[in-house]
A and B are shown apart, each in its own frame.
Chain A
Amino acid sequence: MSPLHRSSENAAGRQRRDHAMRTLARAGAWLLVVLLALPLLDMLRHAGPGLGAVTFLQPDSIDAETAGIAGAVIASGLALLPVLVVAIPLGLGVAVYLEEIARRGRRAALVNRSLHHLAMLPPVIYGLLGFGGLVVVLGLPVGTPLLAGAVLGLVMLPRIVMVGQATLRRVPAADREAGYAMGAAPLQVVAGHVLPRAAPAMLGGAFTVLARALGEAAPLLLVGFAAFAAGLPASPMEPGIPLPVLVFRWAELPGPLFAAKAAAAALTLVAVVLLLGLLGWLLERRGRST
């Protein structure tokens, strides 16, 4: 057997192994899709009787026939306002400071490590913090979208900082250097060169954070959101139960219609979260192309 022939056999073996690995990886990816799709299909199966107009147009009620998610959708939207207006700008500002302005050193490393650990904390802990700090100390009204937004803002803040830092780190160092080399001040470099590059990814990240915040229920249950709230909240100060809490509450109530409506509400939540994710992705793509 010639050396060339032996080499071919060796190459064929490596190609077989390569093919096997590809097949395994592809199967893993499909398995993940199936695992994600199964709960959705299950929800669709159960939601049937709950997918009527009443469910989407009416506020919550103690009567399963007339109970709807309209109030909860509005409450969730209002609860996102503090996240959008306060937590996201504050978090991104902290990220810009830590990445672009603060000097590297032990203190910066300590802050970064702390943020990392805070982002890993379970949201329930933020619920406890929210109850102690926002309800007991600051006296925010219980059961309102304002309180929900403040708690969600707390939960999301470390994650927003980390998302911001990740997007800023993706900006090539050459962009900063070119600015500094021309004698630009740090703020000029950040505003003129770094942020325009990072903005599309930051926008996408902000939408991901909003989607995550929209789906959070655990910290809200700890600050008194398990209660019932009828009517449509007209402001963040009026009582209103966010959508994930409503899903939790309905799922616990007896009767097949509440179970069906809980599934319909969960499907709505998933659809809104996916829509936010898609919107973020589209805006990020559009920002990059321009």
Chain B
Amino acid sequence: MSAHPESGGAAAVEGVARVRPAGSPGHPDPVLECQGLSVFRGQEPLVTGVDLSFGRREVTAIVGALGAGKTALLRSLNRMMDLDSIYRTVGRVLLDGEDLRAPGVDVLALRARVALLPARPTAFRMSVFDNVAYGARIHGLAPDRTELERRVRDSLQLAGLFDDVRERLRGSPEGLRPEQLHRLCIARALALEPQVLLFENPCQGLDPTAAARIEDLVHGLATRCSVILTVQSMQMAGRVAQRIAFLHAGRLIEVNAADELLTTPRHRLTEAYVTGRVA
């Protein structure tokens, strides 16, 4: 195993130490970039000085133990953290070079471009069709009924749910199996035709067979958009993602191509996590 650089050079950004992680945090074709990103809950730091780029049309997994700061980092990418005033975000997040925190940024439109799928899939109290059409409707993305129906059909097909719900599009989503509910929520996000899809633990609450099918689906979505997901399992990250960012105690420890990070981790904490010695 290679040498373990404990940390790189540190620089102070708005009072927060930035630590250069092991591996290659930069990306030649980034869709999203975090620059010195820190998130606080009150005075408690959840994410500390993260510099990280996410590649276009690829799957990046943010891996770490419970409380590592994965969710806070993921939710900062479409400003979902702003919803609760108890959280404070410092640093920059760039989407195609545009600062998401700059004054005048339309946060609602941003969430259509960078759509988030929370860990717990939730169907709205409306028909299957209306569930999938919801985002396109509120953002005015479909100028007419034909376009709306096209978006709904395409999204359901892409999410692998169309055949299951073809006969009950106007019916309630009640009674859908957990896997189908996951697919419904994915279809709802896909109907926005987002640039980036953020997944919070995409397989949470699923049995291993259903989880494997959802993993395949998430992996395949990279042909349509950039995918960023949080996950605790390094094995799952290896199956789904092309690139893995490992977080520990709010700090980005290592970023690298999935194969490389899993086989030759450069940081001792990454190695410990990969080998299961640190949970």
Which residues of A pack against B, CB within 8 Å? 103-105, 172, 174-175, 177-185, 188, 192-193, 196-197
The reply to whether the CB of B24 lies closer than 8 angstroms to some CB of chain A is no
Cβ contact within 8 Å between B122 and A177: yes
Contact A181-B124, Cβ < 8 Å, known A174-B118, A188-B138:
no
A235 to B76, CA, bound (A): 58
Our pick among A105, A179, A196 for the contact of B85 (Cβ within 8 Å) is A105
Stretch of B6-14, B15-23, B44-52, B107-115 that contacts chain A: B107-115
Cβ contact within 8 Å between B125 and A178: no
Residues of B within 8 A of A179 (CB): 124
B277 to chain A: closest CB distance in Å? 34
Contact A184-B80, Cβ < 8 Å, known A177-B118, A178-B124:
no
Residues of A within 8 A of B108 (CB): 183-185
Cβ contact within 8 Å between A183 and B112: yes
Which residues of B pack against A, CB within 8 Å? 78, 80, 83-86, 108-112, 115-118, 120, 122, 124-125, 134-135, 138-139, 185, 188-189, 192
A177 to B109, CA, bound (A): 16
Contact A181-B138, Cβ < 8 Å, known A104-B84, A175-B122:
no
Number of A-B contacts (CB under 8 A): 59
Our pick among B84, B86, B117, B125 for the contact of A181 (Cβ within 8 Å) is B117
Cβ contact within 8 Å between B83 and A180: yes
Cβ contact within 8 Å between A178 and B84: no
Residues of B within 8 A of A175 (CB): 122
Residues of B within 8 A of A197 (CB): 125
Our pick among A105, A184, A196 for the contact of B138 (Cβ within 8 Å) is A184
Return the 3 tightest CB-CB contacts between A and B, nearest first.
A183-B111, A178-B122, A181-B116
Contact A182-B189, Cβ < 8 Å, known A174-B118, A175-B122, A193-B124:
yes
Our pick among A180, A182, A185, A196 for the contact of B134 (Cβ within 8 Å) is A182
Closest chain B residue to A188, Cβ basis: B138
Cβ contact within 8 Å between A181 and B85: no
A104 to B185, CA, bound (A): 29
Cβ contact within 8 Å between B115 and A180: no
Cβ contact within 8 Å between A181 and B192: no
B72 to chain A: closest CB distance in Å? 14
Residues of B within 8 A of A103 (CB): 85
Residues of B within 8 A of A185 (CB): 108, 138
Our pick among A174, A177, A183, A192 for the contact of B139 (Cβ within 8 Å) is A183
Cβ contact within 8 Å between A183 and B122: no
Selected A-B contacts with CB under 8 Å, 15 pairs: A104-B84, A174-B118, A174-B122, A175-B122, A180-B83, A181-B111, A181-B115, A182-B112, A182-B188, A183-B108, A183-B109, A183-B112, A184-B108, A184-B138, A193-B125
Residues of A within 8 A of B120 (CB): 174, 177
Closest chain A residue to B79, Cβ basis: A180
Our pick among A104, A172, A180, A192 for the contact of B80 (Cβ within 8 Å) is A180
A269 to chain B: closest CB distance in Å? 38
Closest chain A residue to B85, Cβ basis: A103
Residues of B within 8 A of A104 (CB): 84-86
Residues of A within 8 A of B109 (CB): 183
Cβ contact within 8 Å between A183 and B138: yes
Cβ contact within 8 Å between A178 and B118: yes
Cβ contact within 8 Å between B135 and A183: yes
A122 to B84, CA, bound (A): 35
Given contacts A104-B84, A183-B192, 11 further A-B contacts (CB under 8 A): A104-B85, A174-B118, A174-B122, A178-B124, A181-B115, A182-B112, A182-B115, A182-B134, A183-B109, A183-B115, A192-B124
